[in-house]
């Protein structure tokens, strides 16, 4: 196995466990292996129709083999994320999955930060970790989600939530989720009124330094095109691309 392949497979393991842990805040979302593939899906529900979309993660497995496994085990609503290395052409992958009845939803860059060097840009607003019930309630209201539970605000929590605060307003946020000795970076967002001012970089710097202090070996994330412009400035290197496919027809229950 090449070094690049080992790096991608290790990063995928961080991704599936970190992503699943994040989605488990509302209902258990499990990560498991099904043959050579990773599967992320809701735990068993009383009503199967309540299940959220599941995601299969494929790396270095032929499209026909992956599709056969998915068709045997998948629930009706699912996506397939195929991870390819930087030097691997994506056209054959696109063509193969299209022929199998999938359409490409989007592509995302796949990044790793080894935490050996972390930039420290100046903070133009206050950057803090969410550790009070009041701040958690404020963030929950903004995101239209249930606030972070009080027992998940301490150092022993499986994730750390950070916010950028300007006056009384939360203007940015990012979350770091512990996963298999590393961390998964999720939900990075800066309000349009505060973009291009270094807020995102300041948030990331605080998060990454805390990751390292808590013993993480690296930080992993997936980024849209816009995010892919920010993360290299913060020491992330792109190791591959996620091609996210959706079946053109839902499978029956």
> Strands 102-113 and 237-247: what pairing?
antiparallel
* pLDDT given for residue 253 in this prediction: 44
Q: Is 170 helix (H, G, I), strand (E, B) or coil?
A: strand
For the chain, residues with pLDDT lower than 50 are 253
pLDDT tens figures, 3-62: 788 999 999 999 999 999 999 988 999 999 999 999 999 999 888 888 999 999 999 999
Identify whether the C-beta of residue 163 lies closer than 8 Å to the C-beta of residue 135: yes
Q: Take residue 215 and report the two structure tokens written for it.
A: 């013993």
Question: What gap in Å lies between CA 144 and CA 220, rounded to an integer?
Answer: 26
pTM score, whole prediction: 0.94
């Amino acid at each position: 196995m090449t070094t690049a392949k080992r790096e991608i497979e290790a990063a995928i393991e961080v991704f599936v466990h970190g992503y699943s842990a994040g989605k488990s805040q509302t209902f258990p979302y499990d990560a498991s292996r099904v043959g050579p593939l990773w599967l992320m899906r809701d735990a068993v529900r009383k009503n199967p129709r309540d299940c959220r979309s599941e995601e299969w993660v494929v790396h270095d497995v032929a499209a026909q083999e992956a599709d056969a496994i998915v068709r045997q085990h998948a629930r009706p609503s699912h996506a397939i994320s195929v991870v390819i290395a930087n030097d691997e052409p994506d056209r054959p992958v696109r063509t193969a999955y299209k022929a199998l009845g999938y359409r490409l939803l989007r592509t995302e860059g796949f990044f790793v930060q080894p935490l050996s060097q972390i930039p420290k840009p100046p903070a133009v607003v206050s950057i803090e970790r969410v550790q009070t019930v009041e701040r958690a309630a404020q963030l929950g209201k903004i995101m239209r989600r249930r606030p972070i539970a009080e027992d998940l605000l301490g150092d022993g929590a499986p994730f750390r939530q950070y916010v950028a605060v300007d006056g009384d307003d939360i203007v940015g946020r990012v979350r770091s989720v512990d996963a298999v000795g590393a961390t998964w970076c999720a939900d990075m967002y800066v309000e349009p009124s505060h973009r291009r001012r270094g807020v995102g970089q300041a948030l990331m710097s605080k998060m990454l330094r805390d990751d390292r202090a808590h013993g993480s070996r690296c930080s992993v994330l997936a980024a849209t095109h816009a995010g892919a412009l920010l993360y290299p400035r913060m020491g992330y290197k792109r190791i591959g691309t996620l091609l996210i496919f959706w079946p053109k027809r839902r499978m029956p229950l």
